[in-house]
Amino acid sequence: MKEKKLMKKGKRLDGRGKEDLRDITIEAGKLKRADGSAYLEWGGNKIIAAVYGPRECFPRHQRSPYKARLDYYYRLAPFSVEDRANPKPSRRGIEISKVSAEALSDVVFLEYFPNTTIDVYTVVLQAQAGTRCAALTAASVALADAGIPMKGLMPSCAAGKIEGEVVLDLSKDEDQCGEADLPIAYLPNKDEITLMQMDGDMTPKEYEEAVDLAVEGCMKVYEIQKKALKEKYRQFNEGGE
C-alpha cells in the first residue's frame, strides 16, 4: 500500500468533509426499449440500469407459483476500468448480483406476479469506487420507473474508514488506501438494512458509527432518487386541477 495523506485539517483530498457524499445525479426513463430505466452519475461512476418485466419466466423449472423471481445482473463494461475488464462475468460480479437481488427481493411485492420473472440489468460504464451502491441506487429508480410495486425506494451508500476516521462514500483513492469499506442498502420508511457487506478493520464502535453514517448517506441518496422520479414528469402540473 502506498503511503498517502488522505485527510488534511478535517478535509478529504477531493475537498469533502467526513460526512459528505460525492455529487450524484439520476435521470429516470432514459431508455426506450426497457420497461423501466435510470442513468446515474455518482462522483466518477456512470451507470445505466434497465428493468424488464414482470415477464414470462424461462426456463420453466425456475418458476414459482407463489411469487415472481427477481434476477439482478451487475456488469462492468470492459472500458469502465483502467485495465480492460474481461467481458465474462467475474466471481466478484456474481456475488454482488446475488446480494443485490436478495436486497431488492425484500422490497418488491413479488407475490403479485406468480410464475414470472423481473430482470434488473445494471451496467457500469465508468467505475470510480462504490459501484455496487451506485448500481443498486439506479436499479431501484428503474424498478419504480417500470411501475413495479415496492415497499419503497431503496437507496444504497457506503461508509468507510480512512486514517482512523469514519467517513462517508469512499472515493477511489480512499478505497484503495483506506482501512475499511462498509456498503449498505436501506429501506427508509421501514428503517431496515437490506444489504450489508464489509471488508477491512474496524472496532465494534467504529462499525456502529459507520452503519449510522451510511444510513445518513442513504437518506441523502433517497432524496435524489425521489427527485429523479418526480422530474421525469416535471411538465406535469402539480397542485390545482
Partner 1 sequence: MKKIVVPGEEIEDENVRTHVYRDNGKKYSMIHGVLYKTEGYSKIIPLTHRYMPKEGDTVIGIVESVKYGGCIVKLNAPYDAFLETREDYEIGDVVSAKVESVSEVKDIKLGNERKFHGGEVFDIDPSKIKRIIGKKASMVTMIKEKTGSKIFVGQNGRVWVKDGDIEKVEEVMRKIEREAHETGLTEKIENYLTGDK
Partner 2 sequence: MSSERLIWNVKKEGIIKRIKEGQRKDGRDMMERRELKVTPGLIETAEGSSMVELGDTKVIAGIKLNIGTPFPDQPEKGALFTGVELYPVASPSYETGPPREQTIEISRVVDRGIRESNMINLEELCIEPGEKVWTVAIDIFPLDQDGNIIDASAIAAVSALINAKIPKYEDGDIIRGEYQKELPVTDTPIASTFSKLGNEIIMDPALEEEKAQDGRITIYTNDKGNVCASQKGGNSSFKRDEIKNIIKEAVKQSKKPRKELLKNK
Question: Residue 36: which of 204, 126, 189, 150 has the closest Cα?
Answer: 150
Alpha-carbon distance of 21 to 157, in angstroms, equals 9
Residue 144 is a binding residue for partner 1 (CB under 8 A): yes
Cell of 173: 483513492
SS3 at position 148: coil
Residue 17 is a binding residue for partner 2 (CB under 8 A): no
Within 142-201, which residues bind partner 2 (CB under 8 A)?
none
Residue 160 is a binding residue for partner 1 (CB under 8 A): no
Alpha-carbon distance of 97 to 196, in angstroms, equals 13
Cβ atoms 46, 25 nearer than 8 A: no
Residue 141 is a binding residue for partner 2 (CB under 8 A): no
The interface region with partner 2, picked from 7-15, 21-29, 74-82, 196-204 by CB under 8 A, is 74-82
Q: 156 touches which of partner 2, partner 1, none (CB within 5 to 8 A by kind)?
A: none
Nearest approach in angstroms of CB 235 to partner 2 is 20
DSSP H or E run through 208: helix 204-231
Sign of CA dihedral 28, 33, 36, 38: negative
Minimum CB distance to partner 2 smaller for 53 or for 160 = 53
The contact mask relative to partner 2 for 94-123 (x = CB under 8 A, - = no) is -------------------------x-x-x
- Which residue's entry shows cell 503511503? 3
143: left (phi over 0), alpha (psi -120 to 50) or beta: alpha
Cell of 106: 425484500
Residue 62 is a binding residue for partner 1 (CB under 8 A): no
Alpha-carbon distance of 100 to 88, in angstroms, equals 19
The interface region with partner 1, picked from 19-27, 94-102, 149-157, 170-178 by CB under 8 A, is 149-157
Cβ atoms 141, 47 nearer than 8 A: no
Residue 145 is a binding residue for partner 1 (CB under 8 A): yes
Minimum CB distance to partner 2 smaller for 17 or for 89 = 89
Kindly list the residues in this chain that would bind partner 2 in the complex (CB under 8 A).
31-34, 37, 44, 46, 48-50, 52, 55, 73, 75, 77-84, 87, 89, 119, 121, 123, 125-128
Q: Kindly list the residues in this chain that would bind partner 1 in the complex (CB under 8 A).
A: 35-36, 53-56, 65, 109, 112-116, 144-153, 187-190, 225-226, 229-230, 233, 235-241
